[in-house]
Structure 1
Amino acid sequence: MSLLKRIPDGALSAGYFAGFLTCIALLGAAYYFEYALYLEPCPLCIVQRIATLMVGIGCLWAFLGRNTQWPLRLGLLFTSASSVFGAWVANHHVTIQNLPADEVPVCGPGLEYMIETLPPSELITTILKGDGSCADVSWLFLGLTMPQWMLVVFLGFLVVSVVAVVRVWSR
């Protein structure tokens, strides 16, 4: 616990803002892959973008509330919860990508069509299940797919935000 107390408050505040900027960069990269490299996102990719946005909002919330206890705590808890959600979605995506070809789910209708035709509860359930397009691996970096990298990112945000929560709550 004494190691956590050695971290200066200014470093934590800079870390909250750095987390926000990291999320902005990740979303920018996602849109670059979609619009410049023409890699069409699957439903689980879209959900991971939403989770990334949520983590970024949590980091910004923590940064803006850094001088008051409860806004800071709530921002960090929101960041942690969003990181858990993002890690769950990314892990589910990785699982689908690693299924044998005969077990890959069937491709469903496009996301726009589902948004127009399905009620909200069914839309969310359908999107979170993923489909055959989620099994496609269209990009690798250092041997990892995009969902694998996002799993690493979300787990990193989770560890850092939990450490920050422990630090803030111990004051």
Structure 2
Amino acid sequence: MVKWRLGFLGLALVCAGCMAYALYEQYYEFLSPCPLCIFQRIVIITFGVLSLLAALLPARGSRFWPVVLTLVGLSGMGVAGRHIYIQYFMDTSKLASCGPGLEMMLQKQPWLEVFRAVLVGHGECAVIDWKFLGLSMPCWTFILFVALTVGAWLVWKCQGKRK
């Protein structure tokens, strides 16, 4: 049970650390997030909160938490993958140079329309402002979502071996 709790708590702490770094980049390095970046942040927060719940609630040995976290991780991979496609492979002349902010879109349009508009992307989503080891931030978040999803299954698998 300790491995279960510590494993999911570790995943939640990784998510918290990633969000702290994203906020540092936004407020201290003045790197403004585009709508796709904001969606990725929402998925990271969701994964972290669900990991924390998995650590705190007594569902030891259950596949419920790894399955739910896998679905969240896959959605994060999808959003990050779309962002990578826009940055590296899409003809940016087909994108609008700028669009309304996410907050304005949420006030004026239905949720599904906002989701579709964000996934289509804007010119600001194609800009690569930051790189580490040659990879942009969406590439790193894609890797993060893969690692978090694998981590959730490893926590479950390690718990199963202990019984």
TM-score range, shorter chain: 0.7 to 0.9
SS state of the match for residue 127, structure 1?
Answer: helix
Preserved CA contact (<8 Å) 2:3 2:159: no
Q: Does 1:88 align with 2:41?
A: no
The number of aligned residues is 161
Unpaired segments ≥5 residues, structure 1:
1-8
Shifted more, 106-115 versus 133-142: the winner is: 106-115
Shifted more, 102-111 versus 147-156: the winner is: 102-111
Match of 2:59 in 1: 68
Give the 5 Å matches for 1:34-53: 34-53=26-45
Aligned equivalent of 2:99, options 80, 97, 108: 108
Match of 1:155 in 2: 146
Aligned equivalent of 2:3, options 6, 11, 15: 11
In structure 2, give the amino acid aligned to 1:54. T
Preserved CA contact (<8 Å) 1:34 1:41: yes
TM-score, with length taken from structure 2:
0.87
C-alpha distance in 1 between matches for 2:19 and 2:92: 32
C-alpha distance in 1 between matches for 2:94 and 2:28: 28
Preserved CA contact (<8 Å) 1:16 1:63: yes
Match of 2:12 in 1: 20
SS state of the match for residue 16, structure 1?
Answer: helix
Preserved CA contact (<8 Å) 2:34 2:124: yes
- Between the aligned residues of both structures, percent identity stands at 32
CA shift in 2, pair 1:74/1:148, >3 Å? same
C-alpha distance in 2 between matches for 1:110 and 1:80: 29
TM-score, with length taken from structure 1:
0.83
Kindly report the root-mean-square deviation, in angstroms, between the aligned alpha carbons of the 2 structures: 2.2
